[in-house]
Structure 1
Amino acid sequence: MIRILIVGDQSRDLLKLYEQLTLARKDWKVVIARSSDEAVRFIDASPFEVVMTEMALRGMDGAELLQHVHRHQPRAARLVICGQASISDMHRVMPLAHQVLGNASDTRGLERCIERVCKLLRRRERPSVQRVLGMLANLPVLPRIYWELAGELERPRADSASVAAIIEQDPAITTRVLQLANSAFFGAQRQVRSVRDAATVLGLEPLRSIALLAGMSRLIHASDLPTGFSLDVLQTHSAHVARLAVSMLSDPEEIKTAFSAGMLHHIAYLMLAVNLRLEYTSLRDEAFDRATSIERVEMDKLGCDHAEIGAQVLALWGLPLPLIDAVACHHRPSASGETRFGAATAVHVAAVLADEAEGKIVEENALEWPFLRRLGAEGAVERWRRGEPIRAF
């Protein structure tokens, strides 16, 4: 039974949502709180898997309430409905919310959002996944700059100048964007000296995933990381995979998904390295001693791998399902349900080719050859392996 708390001050829309969920969802226990004080009493009395609140509450507002949830029930999914919230309110709530939602009147949309989070929670109930997620100190929230970029990219008039203005607010992310734009992986024909030029080289949509990974990395202090873990190496490898995956595809939507999934396919490494330093170091060392991949050791020792953990967090953040599936299945794309060579398969192939090019240990069966043959991709993969620049799918 999944317990859900909905908080709103006499909101007719949220009352309608409560009635919808109570009637339609027999496997959910839905509770409604009519004030922040009542919500606090519920939170202090029993655990909830999901807390959804409006931003505008009397007394303690939505941001303060989510702070209380964060302190007392850190594993709960925290959703906030901001509606017409001010910029200052948005800045307060973004570091606390796993998802920021729009209008409370869209009750069907809110129901779909909760359904999506609950699917994540049901997958999380796998004992191995539950154990690993429980070992993480707190599930992280999206960096604020990601929300700002996402909002800007939804605007029809978004352009390189408006996107650059957001990224340039953060010097660390600005630096990383310029480094990637000038790297060999993106084949810049001239030196890229500004974020606006970088947006032209990389494209607007890819900047969202670059900012997400760079923003997460920015929050990490070097002293929090185990010896030998390099943020630069992680980000450079991710960019390599993203670029290779994109070069294999022709469909614009698949290209967007593949780039983002390539940039984020190893985001769980960052979470594991920060929260489980000793365990992560032990996994890495054992993989080296056994001359095998770290994901195989993860499965042996943890019962799940970084792909599943990363996908769980991306799903909680509300990122698109094709992106989540591509991250979750980048070791076994047959599990993605793809019937043609798409983003998940491209990231799978790109990750293996990038590992080979970077001199990492790659197991003989790292590529899922039976699935690739079913898709008619075996010949293309061999040509990519030889470095031939073809866009076959």
Structure 2
Amino acid sequence: MKRRILFVDDEPNVLQGLQRMLRSMRNEWDMDFASGGEEALRKLEEAPFDVIVSDMRMPGMNGAQLLKEVARRYPNVVRIVLSGHSDREYILQLVTTTHQYLAKPCDAETIKDTVNRACALRDLLTSKELSALVSQIKSLPSLPSLYTRIIEILQSDDPSLQKIGEIVSEDIAMSAKVLQLVNSSFFGIARRISNPVQAVMFLGLETVKALVLSVQIFAKWESSKVKGFDIERLWHHSMTVGAMAKRLAETEQLAARAVDEAFTAGLLHDVGKLILAASLPDAYQKVMAASKAQRIPLWRAEEQAFGTTHAEVGAYLLGLWGLPTSIVEAVAWHHRPAECPARTFCPLTTVHVANALWYQSAHEEDNVQVLDTALIESMGLAERLSAWQSLYDQVAAQGGK
């Protein structure tokens, strides 16, 4: 079935250029074109679309207003900006309504890759209700102590960008959001960034300050929201898995970028739990209770209740936000790595091993995460398991750092 893509721009020459440039996609995409926000909304009312790609600066209804309305009326539609304007004012307007930003001039391959990647994620998360819920997420709740620290630093007389970056790199929600922003074309960075500290440095103090204090892209977790959901424990688990995944990547001599991706994938691997707990508190409380009562892993109980797991939910959001593919894959398949097309030792493998060793160490029979030893053996790495266990013991002794 063809994907339906709606392009919106007030300049006829731009729309004609897009038609010519993307002619090779006619067999895969059903493309439509609108000359403004009002026309785009009429087309959306007449027929469903998978993706909308809109210009920013248009007369009447501008891109930010259009995408805000699309988010409200059609939450399942992936929202992408294609614009030549990158002033901070526009960034602040788009942060909470846009999934990804592409800068003009933009080549056909970049548009194809961005749209196809967004559409492929829909196949990952088959529940329309959950995909709509995830598509509407503007920010995720942070660990209260870290949220308070970052606000205090930003409101101080001499805020340190390095300290801000270090705090962000310890928090699931903050890391995911800054990586979404820095990996957009807003900032003109040629390569994808997977290190949260680097991301903060690229954004700069004034942008971070405006995003946190004015737009409020970070939020504090309300402890009363889900009874039995321990965000402190999730934080400790995520930090430990991230640190262990990084050490594994270093030990097995992966490239520097893959080492960064391993840490970030480990930190974010359970972001789906945070999404489900924050967005569906009552339902998720029942899922946690079912996991304990039936003595099954939490992700199995999620599958029973939602038809999917926190792994797919988290990967869907991170993919929508444009994080590197290796991180999205590691999050999506960290429970079932053999189902991922990649069969080499990569960030996914490090996260799977680190996560399994954590549960093995915690002796949690009800939530056991079994190590896929067959996969490890197929990579010729079975003899490394005892060394990895020793490495994990070191990481755990250091408090997951």
Q: TM-score range by the shorter chain?
A: 0.7 to 0.9
Q: Distance in 2 between matches of 1:103 and 1:54?
A: 9
TM-score normalised by L of structure 1: 0.76
Cα distance per residue 1:157-179 (max 9 Å; x no partner): xxxxxx953874xxxx8756579
> Is the 1:82–1:90 Cα contact (8 Å) retained in structure 2?
no
Q: Distance in 2 between matches of 1:309 and 1:340?
A: 24
Q: 1:300 aligns with which of 301, 304, 312?
A: 304
Correspondence for 2:240: 240
Correspondence for 1:63: 64
Correspondence for 1:139: 136
Q: How is 1:276-315 mapped onto 2 (pairs within 5 angstroms)?
A: 276-315=280-319
Task: Report deviation, 1:74.
Answer: 1.5
Q: Distance in 1 between matches of 2:23 and 2:385?
A: 50
Cα distance per residue 1:262-301 (max 9 Å; x no partner): 0111111111112211221111111112222101222333
Using CA pairs below 8 Å that are at least 6 residues apart, which structure has the higher relative contact order? 2
Task: Report deviation, 1:208.
Answer: 6.1
Number of aligned residue pairs: give it: 339
Go from structure 1 to structure 2 and tell me whether the alpha carbon gap of 1:364 and 1:224 turns closer, same or farther (over 3 Å shift): closer
AA partner of residue 376 (structure 2): L
Q: Distance in 2 between matches of 1:98 and 1:73?
A: 14
> Is the 1:242–1:259 Cα contact (8 Å) retained in structure 2?
yes
Cα distance per residue 1:171-217 (max 9 Å; x no partner): xx87565799xxxxxxxxxxxxxxxxxxxxxx992436899xxx899
* Structure 2 residue 335 is the aligned partner of structure 1 residue 345: no
Correspondence for 2:146: none
> Is the 2:166–2:197 Cα contact (8 Å) retained in structure 1?
no
Cα distance per residue 1:335-358 (max 9 Å; x no partner): 223333221111001011122334
Q: Distance in 1 between matches of 2:352 and 2:370?
A: 9
Q: Distance in 1 between matches of 2:371 and 2:359?
A: 11
Correspondence for 1:109: 110
Q: Distance in 1 between matches of 2:194 and 2:373?
A: 34
Go from structure 1 to structure 2 and tell me whether the alpha carbon gap of 1:176 and 1:236 turns closer, same or farther (over 3 Å shift): farther
Task: Report deviation, 1:133.
Answer: 2.8
> Is the 1:329–1:335 Cα contact (8 Å) retained in structure 2?
yes
Q: 2:327 aligns with which of 317, 323, 326?
A: 323
Correspondence for 2:74: 73
Go from structure 1 to structure 2 and tell me whether the alpha carbon gap of 1:381 and 1:225 turns closer, same or farther (over 3 Å shift): farther
> Is the 2:264–2:327 Cα contact (8 Å) retained in structure 1?
yes
Go from structure 1 to structure 2 and tell me whether the alpha carbon gap of 1:357 and 1:111 turns closer, same or farther (over 3 Å shift): same
Unaligned runs of 5+ in 2: 141-158, 173-192, 202-211, 396-401
Q: 1:355 aligns with which of 349, 356, 359?
A: 359
Q: Which moved more, 1:240-249 or 1:218-227?
A: 218-227
Go from structure 1 to structure 2 and tell me whether the alpha carbon gap of 1:52 and 1:164 turns closer, same or farther (over 3 Å shift): farther
Q: Distance in 2 between matches of 1:205 and 1:35?
A: 37
Task: Report deviation, 1:123.
Answer: 3.6
Residue identity (%): 26
Q: Distance in 2 between matches of 1:270 and 1:315?
A: 16
Task: Report deviation, 1:11.
Answer: 4.9
Correspondence for 1:229: 229
Go from structure 1 to structure 2 and tell me whether the alpha carbon gap of 1:245 and 1:132 turns closer, same or farther (over 3 Å shift): same
Go from structure 1 to structure 2 and tell me whether the alpha carbon gap of 1:217 and 1:278 turns closer, same or farther (over 3 Å shift): farther
Correspondence for 1:257: 261
Q: How is 1:117-196 mapped onto 2 (pairs within 5 angstroms)?
A: 117-124=118-125, 126=126, 129-134=127-132, 136=133, 138-141=135-138, 165=161, 168=164
Q: Distance in 2 between matches of 1:354 and 1:25?
A: 48
Go from structure 1 to structure 2 and tell me whether the alpha carbon gap of 1:224 and 1:111 turns closer, same or farther (over 3 Å shift): farther
> Is the 2:194–2:260 Cα contact (8 Å) retained in structure 1?
no
Cα distance per residue 1:220-266 (max 9 Å; x no partner): 54167311223332222111100001111222122121111101111
Cα distance per residue 1:139-170 (max 9 Å; x no partner): 32468xxxxxxxxxxxxxxxxxxx953874xx
TM-score normalised by L of structure 2: 0.75
Go from structure 1 to structure 2 and tell me whether the alpha carbon gap of 1:167 and 1:380 turns closer, same or farther (over 3 Å shift): same
